[in-house]
Structure 1
Amino acid sequence: MHLLFPCDPFNKSSVDDNYVEEWQAATDMGMACSLFSFEDFEEGVFRPRPALAAGESIVYRGWMLRPERYAALFDACAAQGARLDTDTAQYRRCHHLPEWYAACVDDTPETVFAARDADFVAAVAGKDWPAFFVKDHVKSLTSTRGSIAATACEIALVVDLIEQYRGAVEGGVCIRRYETLLPDTEERYFSWHSRAYGRHGSVPAMVASIAARIDSPFFSIDIVSSDKGQLRLIELGDGQVSDRKQWTAPQFMAMLAQV
């Protein structure tokens, strides 16, 4: 396995500041690492340093990419004879909520999917939900206003604000049943080649089950406790672009060393 990190935009020989701890932990463990310029890649130039060797399995560790840009990165690695461990379909499967929802429907809040220009009030007609949690296929609204719509009529306002703050609505709109979740209970787990990992060692049975049923080599699993005493799946994300959250860099890299 070979890790691929973005370099500092102003110094191509140094890793981006956001990944310094992970780079250090990986190199301390003797893991192969390369840097590439994300800015050059966006301009059509892909030149990792050190170069990727033919036949190597690559794990990208960097900025979130839209699926079409991830496909371009996959192709760029393939052009050098290497292969990203996660293919484009697998990346999309964990990056976009509608892709994984059917496989986890019993573990996560009920969700209605709609196009950006849909009639949102009509989309949730007949849903006797206490409120609505609104996001696009990837992220929720993280401004002060937040993603909760108290009524169906407020859904459009949240969508407008997502578009304003993020520049675009990615994929489409997800309208989720609001559930009361306990504060300070969110925990991020990771699935690495179908095995679930937690920063404290043990993982709930539900997490292990999710890790086994989703066809992707590396993804994050966010779990929260509800006020009814249940564990609820809030989000999956491609592991290559997921924050570590409470995980230390050495913990994270020790997991990736388990190939």
Structure 2
Amino acid sequence: MPTTPAEDATATVLYCHDPLNERRADAHFAAEARRLRAAGGTALLVDHDALLAGDADRSVARVPVGAGALWYRGWMVPADRYGALDAALRRRGCRLVITPEEYRRAHELPGWYGVFAALTPASAWLPADPGRMPDPDRLTALAAGLPPGAAVVKDYVKSRKHEWDEACYVPDLGDAAALHRVVGRFVALQEEFLAGGVVLRAFEDFVAPLTPAGTAAAAEVRVWWRDGVPRLVTAHPDSPVDAVAAPDLEPVRAAVEALGCPFVTTDMALREDGVWRVVEVGDGQVSDLRSGVDLDVFVRILAAGQAPLRAPSASGTTPL
């Protein structure tokens, strides 16, 4: 069951340590860790490299025994490594607030797709090992089950949108040669980082919305949910525009509640027909925070929970 804010009045959060100094947080998270401490929380450090290398016990060597319930805020980790992290912490009398099952459910598309199916592009997937192209016949059959037209290729967690034509976009799912070429290139570029398998997502046309003032807004927004309630809306971290338009969150709220995970993000974009769509779901622990967001606002979400958000401001984040 999701935690309630009352259960987490003072959060203890695991941050990845600086690769060059194990006594301080990684530079990407250092300011957040400082604000957490200032808000009354506790910031502890873990070794992300050791975790990825398979040595979970070494990764948590600096975590005090009996530290209790812990959040993780750091770089992405594969679901199996997250499970190893939880197991190592339990051997030290601690545990992760978000269980390995909850993490996988929010972090990987097959875990969240079912409850978001009506709100997100049609998708289908095949399990695949890193470096291994799925069977071409099975891949063709997978594509045949989706609406005709274009599609996007990704794994269970990420796409390679910066290699759009080469390893992401398939103009026509009926073109088996093009499908196999793009998927093959995607698998090759992902190398050992291929997460879970290959996903095909029906392509939808999105448009850049306008703010209430009529100015340009970010084409994609990130909504942060804590305990089933939206707490913060920002432009997507990759957006060149800070300002955000208000997405319609009511249809999404029911899906987030059904997912049953304590801390998730939903990335949303406005389809050309005026419907807001969920383009990605993620575990909030490993979702990146847009530069410039008020860290006091963000750490309070971790530390104690907040009142429901109000409408976004044209400056880019919702006031809480």
TM-score of the alignment, normalized to the shorter chain, above 0.5: yes
Structure-2 residue corresponding to 1:129: 148
Any idea what the Cα deviations from partners look like across 1:213-250, whole Å, max 9, x if unmatched? Answer: 21211111111110000010111111111111364432
1:53 and 2:72 aligned: no
**Which residue of the partner structure matches residue 48 of structure 2?**
38
Which residue is 2:202 aligned to? Answer: 177
- The CA distance in 1 between the partners of 2:231 and 2:185, in whole Å, is 35
Tell me, yes or no, if the aligned pair for 1:196 and 1:211 is still in contact at 8 Å. no
**Secondary structure of 2:163's match?**
coil
Q: Is the 8 A contact 1:129 1:178 kept in 2?
A: no
Q: Is the 8 A contact 1:57 1:84 kept in 2?
A: yes
Greater CA drift, 150-159 or 11-20: 150-159
Moved more, 180-189 or 138-147: 138-147
Look up the SS of the partner of 1:134 in the other structure: strand
Alignment deviations for residues 157-213 of structure 1 (CA, whole Å, 9 cap, x no partner): 22222222221432111111111011432111112122222237x872123223322
* Cα drift, residue 150 of structure 1: 0.5
Question: Which residue in the other structure is 1:148 paired with?
Answer: 169
1:1-259 correspondence runs (5 A): 1-41=11-51, 42=53, 43=55, 44-49=57-62, 51-54=64-67, 56-116=68-128, 117-118=134-135, 119=137, 120-125=139-144, 127-146=146-165, 147-152=168-173, 153=176, 154-168=178-192, 169-183=194-208, 184-199=218-233, 204-245=249-290, 247-259=293-305
Tell me the TM-score normalized by structure 1: 0.90
2 CA distance for matches of 1:115 and 1:37?
29
* Structure 1 residue matching 2:222: 3-state secondary structure: strand
Unaligned runs of 5+ in 2: 1-10, 129-133, 209-217, 235-245, 306-320
Identity %: 27
Over 3 Å counting, the alpha-carbon distance change for 1:138 and 1:209 in structure 2 is same
**1:74-121 residue CA offsets vs partner (Å, 9 max, x unmatched):** 011111111101111111101110111111111111112224413322
Say which SS state the counterpart of residue 51 (structure 1) adopts: coil
Query: How far has the Cα of 1:127 moved from its partner?
Result: 4.2
Task: Give the Cα separation in 2 of the matches to 1:129 and 1:83.
Answer: 46
The 1:126–1:52 alpha-carbon spacing in structure 2 relative to 1, beyond 3 Å, is closer
Kept in 2: contact 1:196–1:207 (CA 8 A):
no
Q: How many angstroms apart in 2 are the aligned matches of 1:48 and 1:33?
A: 14
Alpha-carbon shift at residue 126 of structure 1 (Å): 6.1
Q: What CA distance in whole angstroms lies between the structure 2 residues aligned with 1:128 and 1:173? A: 17
Contact preservation (8 Å) 1:141, 1:158: no
CA–CA distance in structure 1, aligned partners of residues 197 and 169 of structure 2:
17
Amino acid at match of 1:148: Y
Residue aligned with 1:179, SS: coil
Aligned length: 258
How well do the aligned residues superpose, as a CA RMSD in angstroms?
Answer: 2.2
Instruction: Please report the TM-score for the alignment, with normalisation by the length of structure 2.
Output: 0.74
Cα distance in 1 for residues equivalent to 2:279 and 2:48: 30
Q: Is the 8 A contact 1:59 1:86 kept in 2?
A: yes
SS at match of 1:143: helix
- In the alignment, structure 1 segments of 5+ residues that lack a partner are none
Q: Which range moved further: 164-173 or 230-239? A: 164-173
